[in-house]
């Protein structure tokens, strides 16, 4: 091989490498962006859940002890200064409290169930997005070329979700009390 051929080979290999790396950078960026957005959506859904839980207090004929328990747990999750670990704990506590008071409630709070199901769905999507992003960010090429350096590493959100009806099980138009098919579709989350 003469010099020109060697040069050509080097250039081709270089171009392919650069293309591969920029492609990988796009994928890392896309996965990380998605994980950031799923977090903000999950955050909003958890806020919605706490709000609905706090609204239980306004139910007619709820006793003051139950009301205080729920309100306390709901308000605890809303503190803006919580770090993620503390937030996970307070959200789990809220799930436990909601499960504990559920049999005492005068009526089935279907809107709260909806919010819990929604938060559960968003949490699954978020943790899925996070694991996709992490799998990419831990690749050797990504580390060596520091393709993820400009973004914060996403973290999965772990919490106990408790027991509630899934999205498919309680459509808003279904009459209350028609709960017999729920045996198959109740979600019972193992406690972490």
Partner 1 sequence: MTDLRRRLRVGMVCPYSFDVPGGVQNHVLGLARYLRQVGHRPYVLAPGELRSSTPALDLEDFSSVGAAVPVPYNGSVARVNFGPLSAARVRRWLRNGKFDLIHIHEPVTPSISLLALWAAEQPVVATFHTATPRSRSMQLAGGVLRAAIEKIDAGIAVSESARNVVVQHLGRDAVVIPNGIRFDDFARRRPAMRADPFDELRTTLDEARRSTDSGHSAGSPPEPPQRPRLIFIGRLDEPRKGLDVLLAAIPLIRQARPDVEVIVAGQGRRALPSWCCNLGPITEEAKIALLNSADVFVAPQLARESFGIVLLEAMACGVQLVASDLPSFVDLLGAPQDKERRGDVFGVGDHRALARAVLEALERPDPLQAARAQQAAKAYDWSSVGMAVLAVYRAALSTAPSTLAADGEV
Contact flag: residue 148 with partner 1 (CB under 8 A): no
User: Cβ-count burial of 40 within 10 angstroms (0-12 exposed, 13-18 middle, 19+ buried)?
Assistant: exposed
Q: Coil, strand, or helix at residue 186?
A: strand
Q: Which of 65, 182, 188, 191 binds partner 1 (CB under 8 A)?
A: 182
CB of 126 to partner 1, least distance (A): 8
Q: Which of 43, 121, 145, 160 binds partner 1 (CB under 8 A)?
A: 121
Contact flag: residue 176 with partner 1 (CB under 8 A): no
Nearest-CA neighbor of 119 among 161, 180, 147, 90? 161
DSSP letters spanning 104-173: G-SS--HHHHHHHHHHHHHHHHHHHHHHHHHHHHTSHHHHHTTTTTTSPPP--------EEE-TTT--TT
What residues numbered 156-175 form the site for partner 1, per CB under 8 A?
166-171, 173-174
What residues numbered 66-105 form the site for partner 1, per CB under 8 A?
none
**What residue ranges bind partner 1 (CB under 8 A)?**
19, 22-23, 26-27, 29-31, 33-34, 37-38, 41, 118, 121-122, 124-125, 127-129, 131-132, 135-136, 166-171, 173-174, 180-185
């Amino acid at each position: 091989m003469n010099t020109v051929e060697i040069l050509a080979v080097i250039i081709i290999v270089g171009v392919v490498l650069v293309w591969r790396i920029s492609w990988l950078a796009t994928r890392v960026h896309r996965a990380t962006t998605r994980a950031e957005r799923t977090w903000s959506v999950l955050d909003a859904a958890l806020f919605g859940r706490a709000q609905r839980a706090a609204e239980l207090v306004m139910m007619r004929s709820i006793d003051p002890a139950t009301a205080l328990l729920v309100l306390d747990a709901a308000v605890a999750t809303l503190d803006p200064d919580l770090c993620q670990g503390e937030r996970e704990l307070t959200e789990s506590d809220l799930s436990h409290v909601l499960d504990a008071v559920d049999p005492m409630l005068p009526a089935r709070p279907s809107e709260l169930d909806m919010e819990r199901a929604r938060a559960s769905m968003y949490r699954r999507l978020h943790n899925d997005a996070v694991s996709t992003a992490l799998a990419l960010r831990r690749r050797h090429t990504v580390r060596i070329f520091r393709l993820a350096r400009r973004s914060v590493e996403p973290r999965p959100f772990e919490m106990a979700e408790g027991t509630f009806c899934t999205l498919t099980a309680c459509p808003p138009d279904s009459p209350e009390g028609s709960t017999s098919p729920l045996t198959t579709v109740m979600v019972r989350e193992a406690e972490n």
